[in-house]
Each structure stands twice: as C-alpha cells, then as structure tokens.
Amino acid sequence: MTAAIKPDKTSATEKTNLLNLDDLLTEIAHNVTGNSIQLPAHFKFDWHGIHFAGQVLPSQNGQKSSLNLVANLGYIPFSAENKERRRTLITTFTPLFMKGEYSLSTSSQIQMILLTEFTGSVSARRLMEVITLTLLDLQEDLKDIHKSISA
C-alpha cells in the first residue's frame, strides 16, 4: 500500500500564527514550571465542588513561607429562604465558630481557613505539592462538611 504525501497548503500567516501560539505555550509552560513566583501570590481554584481562595506570603525570617487557603464550604440561608435549615446550621456551627475552627463571612459563607507553613523554594511545582498535601490531609473532612452544609 502506498500513501500519497499531500502538499502543505498552510499559508505563511497561518504558519506564523502557529509559531506564535507555540511560543506562547512555551512561555506559559515556563511560567507555570519556572523556579520563582512573585510574592505575595494570590489565586483561586475549585476542588470537589469547594471554592478556594489562597495566597502565598513570604516568610518573615527567610526560613518558611506561608500558604493561606480559605475554603468556602457553603452558606447559611436567610430565614426567608429556609428557616429550619438556617437554625440547624447555626446550632451546629456556632460552637465551631467560637473555637475558631470555622468562620462566617459577611456574605454568610461558612469558611475553613487552612494555614500551612513550608520551607524551600517557592516555585509553582513546590506550591502545587504543598496545596495537594494540605488538601489530601483534610480531604474527607472537607467533603463531609461541604456535603452537610450544601444538603
């Protein structure tokens, strides 16, 4: 069986655009896998239906950097939305708010604040390792709490 080679009909402009796209992807890959992140760094992501906001702060003494993640686990409904659900969540979470394990935002979001200090370079790769280990450590608790609030 013989395969025919088709002539390349890609225009010069299309080839230039592809090269620019290749350069852009290379630059993005370098930024994501590069050795440094400019601090303080802020980011957001969703994981298992839970919205997170985070920041990485430089260390005070040059030894450890700080990763702060805020997990928005769900909201307490207004009385007009669901009076019984509001009462149940307030009763359940008030002791946890008092202990400081959870907080309540001004928009009635129940939040868990995760603080992690880590050593070493602050690169995208290292940051992803720290976030992954933090989330894996609290995975079951986060999913259970999110499920109970969102039910």
88-113 confidence digits (pLDDT tens):
999 999 999 999 989 999 999 999 99
Whether the CA torsion 81, 85, 88, 90 is positive or negative: it is: negative
Say yes or no: 87 and 138 in one domain. Answer: yes
Q: Which range marks the domain in which residue 21 is found?
A: 8-35
Whether the CA torsion 34, 37, 43, 45 is positive or negative: it is: positive
Say yes or no: 52 and 13 in one domain. Answer: no
Say yes or no: 31 and 43 in one domain. Answer: no
* Arithmetic mean of pLDDT, 145-150: 86
Where residue 87 sits, what CATH number does that domain have? 3.30.1460
Q: What is the pLDDT of residue 31?
A: 54
Q: What is the pLDDT of residue 34?
A: 55
pTM reported for the whole predicted model: 0.68
Contacts of 129 (CB under 8 A, 6+ apart): none
Q: How many domains, in total, are found in the chain?
A: 2
Say yes or no: 72 and 31 in one domain. Answer: no
Say yes or no: 63 and 121 in one domain. Answer: yes
Say yes or no: 88 and 108 in one domain. Answer: yes
